[in-house]
């Protein structure tokens, strides 16, 4: 008989809950087609009550009742959970991992009782506000089922397909990148305060400036260098600030931060 739920989500911390809320809110997947489980039972209970999703009794029960199983747990226990649900999986299932550093082959090695479709996703924290950046790599899964997962993720952010060999780079850029941007916003706000703005005004202006600039990159269709030149008029305030950033090695520091984060991701994944 058909399974009662389309998507099962194991782990409803910040990221898992953001995914469930985003899908239900957008209508990309109705709440009554989603089932969740978390060892912290009260978390799952709260989410089920708020969103209207179902709550499974355990990981195996969730897998038995779902077509797609998302593992949104800490990286260190992903393979443990995969082994736990393996007896309930069939070749028709799709298993999706949301953990940094866990490769598709590691997931496949943990599931020896069947050969479900496997998809690896690297999310980032802005998914909590519906503006995530998701890097997606696919194992042996049909194009139709992969497209369905991409559609769901698109409900809470932007999705970019990458080869699995580039996942560490995607982790260094999009996974760690929000922290770099938070530092940038904090520094811009501090500069505004030093120049005479109130703390609240400086923080709001800094955050909105970053948001607006990012939206221009995504929507205007021009290279960031072109957009920069549109702001930097000859002998003006902006070009004076850009000269200071170049002298301080701002561009190189950001590049080095991404490379260092990607290197660490490779180390963690072995």
Task: List phi, psi (to 5°) of 194.
Answer: -60, -30
Mean pLDDT over residues 211-232, rounded? 96
Domain harbouring 152, CATH code: 3.40.50.720
pLDDT band at 101 (very low <50, low <70, confident <90, very high): confident
Are 234 and 181 in a shared domain?
yes
Kindly report the pTM of this predicted structure: 0.89
Q: What is the mean pLDDT of the chain?
A: 94
Percent of all residues in the chain with a pLDDT value above 70, rounded to a whole number: 99
Domain harbouring 246, CATH code: 1.10.3730.10
Domain that holds residue 90: 5-170
Are 210 and 162 in a shared domain?
no
Are 134 and 185 in a shared domain?
no
Domain boundary, last residue among 145, 170, 195? 170
Q: 């991404």: which residue's tokens?
A: 258
Please write down the HEC assignment for all residues of 78-125. HHHHHHHHHHHCCCCCEEEECCCCCCHHHHHHHCCCCCCEEEEEECCH
DSSP for residue 28: S
Cβ-based neighbour number of residue 135 at 10 Å: 23
Are 181 and 131 in a shared domain?
no
The tens digit of pLDDT for each residue in 130-149 reads 899 999 999 889 999 999 99
Are 60 and 140 in a shared domain?
yes
Report the alpha-carbon angle 218-17-137, nearest 5.
55
Q: 């002998």: which residue's tokens?
A: 235
pLDDT band at 3 (very low <50, low <70, confident <90, very high): confident
Are 15 and 149 in a shared domain?
yes
Is pLDDT of 270 > 80? Answer: no
Distance of CA 231 to the CA centre of its chain: 31
Q: Strands of 132-138's sheet, edge to edge?
A: 54-55, 34-37, 5-10, 66-71, 94-97, 117-122, 132-138, 157-161
Are 156 and 185 in a shared domain?
no
Domain boundary, last residue among 170, 187, 220? 170
Alpha-carbon distance of 248 to 246, in angstroms, equals 5
Alpha-carbon distance of 117 to 128, in angstroms, equals 26
Alpha-carbon distance of 51 to 19, in angstroms, equals 11
Mean pLDDT over residues 201-213, rounded? 98
Domain boundary, last residue among 170, 189, 214? 170
Mean pLDDT over residues 242-254, rounded? 97
The tens digit of pLDDT for each residue in 163-201 reads 999 999 999 999 999 999 999 999 999 999 999 999 999
Are 224 and 133 in a shared domain?
no
Are 120 and 49 in a shared domain?
yes
Are 139 and 211 in a shared domain?
no
Alpha-carbon distance of 175 to 73, in angstroms, equals 15
Is pLDDT of 232 > 90? Answer: yes
Helix axes 14-26, 41-51, angle to 10 degrees: 10
The tens digit of pLDDT for each residue in 15-59 reads 999 999 999 988 899 999 999 999 999 999 999 999 999 999 999
Q: 């501090």: which residue's tokens?
A: 190
Residues in CB range of 42: below 8 A, 6 or more apart: none
Is pLDDT of 123 > 70? Answer: yes
pLDDT at position 128 = 87
pLDDT at position 76 = 86
Strands 5-10 and 66-71: parallel
Domain count, the chain: 2
Alpha-carbon distance of 230 to 218, in angstroms, equals 16
5 touches 54 (CB < 8 A)? yes
Are 148 and 31 in a shared domain?
yes
pLDDT band at 94 (very low <50, low <70, confident <90, very high): very high
Strands 132-138 and 117-122: antiparallel
H helix runs in 136-236, sequence order: 143-153, 167-170, 177-195, 199-219, 224-231
Are 198 and 258 in a shared domain?
yes
């Amino acid at each position: 008989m058909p399974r009662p739920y389309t998507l099962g989500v194991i782990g409803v911390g910040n990221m898992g809950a953001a995914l469930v809320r985003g899908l239900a809110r957008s209508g990309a997947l109705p709440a009554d087609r989603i089932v969740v489980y978390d060892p912290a039972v009260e978390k799952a209970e709260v989410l089920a009550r708020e969103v209207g999703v179902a709550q499974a009794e355990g990981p195996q029960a969730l897998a038995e009742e779902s077509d797609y199983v998302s593992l949104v747990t800490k990286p260190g226990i992903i393979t443990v959970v995969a082994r736990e649900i393996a007896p309930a999986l069939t070749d028709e299932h799709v298993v999706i991992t949301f953990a940094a550093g866990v490769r598709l082959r590691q997931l496949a090695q943990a599931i020896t009782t069947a050969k479900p479709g496997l998809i690896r996703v690297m999310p980032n924290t802005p998914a909590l506000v519906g503006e995530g950046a998701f890097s997606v790599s696919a194992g042996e899964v049909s194009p139709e089922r992969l497209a369905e997962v991409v559609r769901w993720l698109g409900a809470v952010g932007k999705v970019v397909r990458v080869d699995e060999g580039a996942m560490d780079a995607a982790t260094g850029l999009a996974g760690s990148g929000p922290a770099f941007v938070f530092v940038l916003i904090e520094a811009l706000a501090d500069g505004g305060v030093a120049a005479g703005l109130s703390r609240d005004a400086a923080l709001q202006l800094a955050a909105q400036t970053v948001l607006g600039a990012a939206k221009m990159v995504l929507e205007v269709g021009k290279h960031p260098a072109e957009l920069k030149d549109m702001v930097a008029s000859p002998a003006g305030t902006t070009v004076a600030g850009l000269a200071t950033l170049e002298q301080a090695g701002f561009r190189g520091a950001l590049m080095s931060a991404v490379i260092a984060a990607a290197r660490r991701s490779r180390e963690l994944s072995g």
